[in-house]
């Protein structure tokens, strides 16, 4: 059993953080990140292509080290390696934009993989857990299919199912609406709203959510906390209800009427 984080401590806390680029890890794509996330909060971070959204999530998940500055996850200084990393890292789920599935495994096998590696479960218990999450994601009828034979929208859901099967406390999602039609996008809004308020997939515990996007507008009725990534910086906007009149053209555009509801 993981040691719970004291309720007064942030689950994510970054101070003066510099984040390296994927193309050149020694070169910062983000500088001086000051960011704090409390358990149960629902954040959406907006930024254009190449602004550092994916790099920020990889670092948050513990898969990359900061170039400088401090990062604490569940109150523990990061990064850590080996068995120590598993203690904290398995409390965080990461959903990649393209799913990052193994194309020689079925959808069911992809989702079961984290349980096989990280949980000692009886076969029947594991199969039940996988079936439950597949059904919730609408993937039950497609469980035996290979990812390469499925539309992108369903592969993205499979990536979510795989992240949720270990019942993480924090869920990081990289541009989940990318390339989706309104019907599939609406499913994601409803699914994340359920996870944020507490759902059976997380034993009724509200998840801490961090979502990246190129457009904040569709998220205004869903997330509570917002941030932007302009000019190699993380700009925390906070709750929309606390925002006054905006003069920044970029912020005004992102917070104008949504294209999707």
What whole-number distance in Å separates Cα of residue 95 and Cα of residue 191?
A: 14
Domains and CATH numbers, the chain: 1-91+171-180+216-254 (3.40.50.300)
pLDDT at 216: 87
Q: What string of DSSP letters covers 15-82? A: EEEEEE-SS-TTSEEEEEEEEEE-TT-EEEEE--TTSSHHHHHHHHTTSS--SEEEEEETTEES---H
- Give me the residue label for tokens 């390469």: 148
pLDDT at 1: 44
Tokens representing residue 114 in the block? 């984290």
pLDDT at 260: 44
CB atoms within 10 A of CB 23: 9
What whole-number distance in Å separates Cα of residue 254 and Cα of residue 145?
A: 38
What whole-number distance in Å separates Cα of residue 69 and Cα of residue 77?
A: 11
pLDDT at 79: 74
Gyration radius of the chain's alpha carbons: 18
Mean pLDDT, contiguous 10-residue spans, the chain (261 residues): 64 96 93 97 93 96 93 87 66 91 95 81 76 95 93 96 94 96 96 90 86 91 91 87 64 60 42
pLDDT at 217: 85
pTM reported for the whole predicted model: 0.89
């Amino acid at each position: 059993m993981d040691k719970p984080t004291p309720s007064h401590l942030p689950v994510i806390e970054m101070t003066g953080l510099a984040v390296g680029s994927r193309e050149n890890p020694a070169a910062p794509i983000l500088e001086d990140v000051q960011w704090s996330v409390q358990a149960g909060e629902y954040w959406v971070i907006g930024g254009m292509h190449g602004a550092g959204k994916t790099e920020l999530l990889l670092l948050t998940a513990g898969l990359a080290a900061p170039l400088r500055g401090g990062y604490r996850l569940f109150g523990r200084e990061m990064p850590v390696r080996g068995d120590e990393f598993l203690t904290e890292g398995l409390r965080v789920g990461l959903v990649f934009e393209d799913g990052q599935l193994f194309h020689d495994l079925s959808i069911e096998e992809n989702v079961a993989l984290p349980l096989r590696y990280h949980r000692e479960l009886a076969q029947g218990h594991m199969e039940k857990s996988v079936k439950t999450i597949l059904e919730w994601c609408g993937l039950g009828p497609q469980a035996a299919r290979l990812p390469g034979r499925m539309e992108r929208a369903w592969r993205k859901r499979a990536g979510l199912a795989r992240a949720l099967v270990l019942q993480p406390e924090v869920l990081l999602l990289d541009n989940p609406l990318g390339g989706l039609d309104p019907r599939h996008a609406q499913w994601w809004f409803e699914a994340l709203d359920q996870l944020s308020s507490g759902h059976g997939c997380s034993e009724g515990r509200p998840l801490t959510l961090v979502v990246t996007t190129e457009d904040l507008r569709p998220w205004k009725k869903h997330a509570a906390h917002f941030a932007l990534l302009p000019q190699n910086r993380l700009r925390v906007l906070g709750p929309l209800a606390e925002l006054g009149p905006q003069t920044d053209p970029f912020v005004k555009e992102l917070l104008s009427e949504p294209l999707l509801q």
